[in-house]
A = this chain, B = another copy of it.
Amino acid sequence: MLNEIHFADIAEIIGELNLTEATYIIKLLDSEKTSEALMELEEDFRERILENLSAKEIAEELEEMDTDDAADVIAELPDELAEEVIAEIEDEKHAEDIKELLSYGEDTAGGLMAKELVRVKETWTIAGCVREMRRQAKNVTRVHSIYVVDKEDKLKGRLSLKDLLTAPTKAQISDVYIPKVDFVDVDTEGEEVARVMQKYDLEAIPVVDHEGVLVGRVTIDDIVDFIKDEAEKDYQLAAGISQDVEADDSVLELTRARLPWLILGLFGGLGSVFIMEGFEDALAKYKELFFFTPLIAAMAGNVGVQSSAIIVQGLANDVVKGSLFNRLVKEISLSLISGITLGILVILFGLIIGMEMDFSLTIAISMLCVIIVAALIGTFVPIILDKRGIDPAIATGPFITTSNDIFGIFLFFYIAKLMLQF
């Protein structure tokens, strides 16, 4: 029954089974079907299934996969097994291609691309091209574009299927091809590949090596996964989750991803204990200051996370333009508006519950300062990290909230001390 249904549905069914049943199904069905289903499974479940297969059985699955998928699977295997599996692949060209892909960095165009594509030489005729295309297209799931190369395999341009259908059969490729073609280098970062493909609405982009030789192509479906993974990673970092985990991962995996950030938060909290002990003298006269610290910490945290989230997204989408000074002015005016509004609310609250005016004012003004500093930290920490080539998303979430908690509470007490003179 399974032979009749789509591989993505088979993958969904296998995902619901236990390991023994899943392995049985994989061994039972045709590699043509299971190789695609395997690629749709959760990475860790796939790894566990592959552990139950022999090197030869894994090699059979890989024979049916596109080179980029096959390389991804091999990269997940232990080194020794990986070599054994490659040696078992019968199609030598396929094995060569996979080895080549493994030599590129995981998040580069080289690591994302597949070797499967349709290439034609500029000296061919349209008729020869159609013949050759039919032969090559067997190995290529989707054609997208036909790439035109010179006799040294250097990328010259592309040919659309529409052109191929409408050109006279005796015309030479060099007369009809489009010499303008976007391409990326094997070393181009995945993020940049995603940006170029989105900007120019491309569904596939050719990849060349340092000599300009066409070596592969990246298709939009790999980029969709890449964009999703990137967005999920940023989201998880903002929430304080340090590895790629899912709701259905084990308790241990989830703990490993979450606990480090909680420990960071704990140290931050212990830091604020020290700060408050330092201002202990104020406790007798201004105990309400201590009741307001969670509010100040929450404000500092919220403002900081908002600012950093906007900057992190802006950096990712390349819209953070203009000088740092302009950004400084903008963040300060923004925090002034928010801070003054919130300050007025605090003073109104003070009037209602009958707090003394100078005390309400102290809280409102020191909160305003905390908000400005929190916005600046939230804005400039990601910008500085980005300038130094570090992923700015790391600076969002618990990192910003924790450091803003400490700075915020210290600043709050310090300004209160100046104003109330204790």
Instruction: Write the residues of chain A forming the contact surface with B, with a CB cutoff of 8 angstroms.
Output: 6, 8, 40, 130, 133-134, 137, 142-143, 161-162, 165-166, 198-201, 203, 220-221, 223-224, 227-228, 231-232, 234-236, 238-241, 245-248, 251, 254-255, 258-259, 261-263, 265-266, 268-270, 272-273, 276-277, 280, 283, 287-288, 290-299, 301-303, 305-306, 308-311, 313-315, 317, 319-322, 330, 333-334, 337-338, 341-342, 345-346, 349, 396-398, 401-402, 405, 409
Total copies of the chain = 2
In the complex, are the beta carbons of B134 and A262 less than 8 A apart? Answer: no
Q: Which residues of B contact A288 (CB under 8 A)?
A: 273, 277
7 contacting pairs across A/B (C-beta < 8 A): A8-B201, A240-B309, A246-B310, A263-B341, A277-B288, A280-B287, A301-B301
Query: In the complex, which residue of chain B has the Cβ closest to the Cβ of A138?
Result: B162
Given contacts A8-B199, A240-B306, A241-B310, 7 further A-B contacts (CB under 8 A): A239-B396, A247-B319, A254-B310, A259-B337, A262-B342, A270-B349, A297-B297
Smallest CB–CB gap between A365 and chain B, Å?
15
C-alpha spacing A266/B311, complex, angstroms: 23
Name the contact of A302 in the complex, choosing from B245, B261, B291 (C-beta under 8 A): B261
In the complex, are the beta carbons of B309 and A294 less than 8 A apart? Answer: no
Name the contact of A232 in the complex, choosing from B161, B223, B313 (C-beta under 8 A): B313
In the complex, are the beta carbons of A203 and B203 less than 8 A apart? Answer: yes
Q: Which residues of B contact A349 (CB under 8 A)?
A: 270
